[in-house]
Amino acid sequence: MSISGTRNALLGRSPGQGLPRIVSSRGHEIVGQSGEQYLDAISGAYAAILGYSLCSVTTAMYAAAARLPYVHNARFDSCESVALANLLSELGGSAGYQVYLSVSGADGVEAALRIAAAYGEVRGRSYQRQWAALPNSYHGSSGFALSTTGHAAARGRYELELKRITRLDLLRWVRTPRGFDADWTTDRAEIERAIGKDIGVVILEPMLGNAAGCVEMPDSTLAAIAAVCRERDIVLISDEVSVGMWRTDGLSLSQSKGVDPDIIVLGKALTAGLFPLSAVLVSPRIALALQGKANLLGHTHAAHPIGCAVALDVLRHLTLPRFQSDVEGLKDAFATRLADLLRLERVRAIRGRGLMYSVCLNTPEDETVSGPIGERLYAACLSRGLLVMPGEVRGTDGVRVSDHITLAPAFNMPVRTLNHVVHVLTDALAEL
Ligand SMILES: Cc1ncc(COP(=O)(O)O)c(C=O)c1O
């Protein structure tokens, strides 16, 4: 069997769209079949946070595979799964979270929603099945997760199959001379009204990701949502699959903003891209209510001992004081370099936090002829060997409010490589 032949029976995400085939990697680059190199400024998709030369993590992975290649988590715990749960609980601080382990970000979100539903059932509440989520959010491609997703294009043709979700109208787009700005509701009374009386679960991202062009929720809005949820015994889920794990701020961005959500979902960066694994941090209030009363279900490969061993090594790495101070330095350098782009005519806003930013563009008049400008910038970057993520956002009225690309480099990218990323991006912007 050859792995480099021309036959391709792979049905990809966009059927019929030929994709470059990647054969190897090194440092912060992936390498294609003809030797073409791509400098990765998006960590794959927020996952490969330590780049592609992962010596200690792969050693931990091989050792775990040799020790215990598999165990079914419906019947057994493993030393790795318990150690990971304990460590994540400790990192979650005084909230005392218990930790459910799953596979992907989407099924972490689904597990969180099942846990909330089970909690409602135990408390004898049918309304726990009424969920509310933000517009322009993204929670994954499986059923419940896609239902809660606010990004209309992602729900697209699956709409009829999805659960009906209340959209929390807390984010408006306001026209300014340089494009649209996100305007959040901070008023407590308005937030109470938006959530209403019949909602049992609120799911949010404390910073909306590429699906919104990295729009951060103000601390006061998050605090008010959390207060309303607490008063009405609504389960508050913070989906931090993209923004958690020090990508923006700390293990959890919600916690950094002063809120301990009932449930936090982590994924992607947890295993630095090496293994599919997600973690659902559940508050003792909910976890204790479920003791002996619920079957939360799960997946064959959930809490996989190899994935847990990888996550333990990744967390060991991320929490080293020296590494943390380097990451803080990189975040400062990133913010400064990106702010420089605002002097360019094409760039109307830089939004984001930490190591995750969207570069938002002015939309030209001729966009229908030449295609969305974010896609064109993506192509211009790709032709220069730079990997970013393109995005487009429409407001609730369908009007395009953001064309952008998102950058989320690895946490250990050298500052000089990061400077090169911004240099190539500047060059690509000049081509538009
Ligand atoms: C905020 C958020 N939640 C959930 C998911 C789904 O994660 P996965 O693709 O691992 O299923 C994503 C993926 O991009 C995400 O950004």
Amino acid at 141: S
Task: Determine the atom of ligand 1 nearest the C-alpha atom of 278.
Answer: 10
Nearest in space to 265 (alpha carbons), one of 284, 240, 283, 285 = 240
- Residue 36 structure tokens: 């073409």
Distance, in Å, from the CA atom of 367 to the CA atom of 323, rounded to the nearest integer, reads 43
Nearest Cα neighbor of 137 from 209, 240, 56 is 209
The residue to mutate among 215, 242, 264, 277, having the most atoms of ligand 1 within 8 angstroms of its beta carbon, is 242
Nearest to 55 by CA among 20, 27, 18: 27
Q: Ligand 1: residues whose CB is within 6 Å?
A: 45, 104-106, 109, 138-140, 205, 209, 239, 241-242, 267
Return the pLDDT at 180: 86
Three-class DSSP category at 144: helix
Distance CA 154, CA 146 (A): 8
**Of the residues 103, 155, 268, which should be mutated to test ligand 1's pocket, given the most ligand atoms within 8 Å of the CB?**
268
Which value, to the nearest 10 degrees, does the dihedral of the CA atoms of residues 140, 146, 151, 153 take?
A: 100
> Tokens 């775990």 map to which residue?
64
What is the sign, positive or negative, of the torsion defined by CA atoms of 197, 202, 208, 209?
A: negative
Q: What are phi and psi of 181, to 5 degrees?
A: -110, 145
CA angle (271 as vertex; 317, 142 as ends), nearest 5: 155
CA distance readout (Å), 126 to 30, 180, 368: 49, 39, 47
Specify which residues 100 forms β-bridges with.
280
Contact of 245 with 281, CB cutoff 8 Å? no
Residue 137 token pair:
């959010």
For every one of its 432 residues, what pLDDT tens digit does the chain have, with 9 covering 90 and above? 555 566 789 999 989 888 999 999 999 999 999 999 999 999 999 999 999 998 889 999 999 999 999 999 999 999 999 999 999 999 999 999 999 999 999 999 999 999 999 999 999 887 667 999 999 999 999 999 999 999 988 998 899 999 999 999 999 999 887 788 899 999 999 999 999 989 999 999 999 999 999 999 999 999 999 999 999 999 999 999 999 999 999 999 999 999 999 999 999 999 999 999 999 999 999 999 999 999 999 999 999 999 999 999 999 999 999 999 999 999 999 999 999 999 999 999 999 999 999 999 987 665 555 668 899 999 999 999 999 999 988 887 778 888 999 999 999 999 999 999 999 999 999 998
Instruction: Point out the ligand 1 atom lying closest to the alpha carbon of residue 109.
Output: 4
Residue of the CA atom closest to atom 16 of ligand 1: 242
In the chain, what are the domains?
22-48+320-431 (3.90.1150.10), 58-318 (3.40.640.10)
44 closest CA partner among 34, 54, 52: 52
Rounded Cα distance between 54 and 105, Å, is 22
Choice from 134, 138, 205, 280 to test ligand 1 binding pocket (greatest atom count within 8 A of CB): 138
pLDDT of residue 147: 96
Position 290 scores a pLDDT of 97
Burial letters for 114-131: b for 16+ Cβ neighbours within 10 Å, e otherwise?
A: bbbbbbbebeeeeebebb
Query: Measured in angstroms, how far is the CA atom of residue 138 from the centroid of ligand 1?
Result: 7
Rounded CA-CA distance 130/203 in Å is 11
Cα-to-centroid distance, 398 and ligand 1 (Å): 23
H/E segment holding residue 405: strand 400-407
Residue type for position 400: R
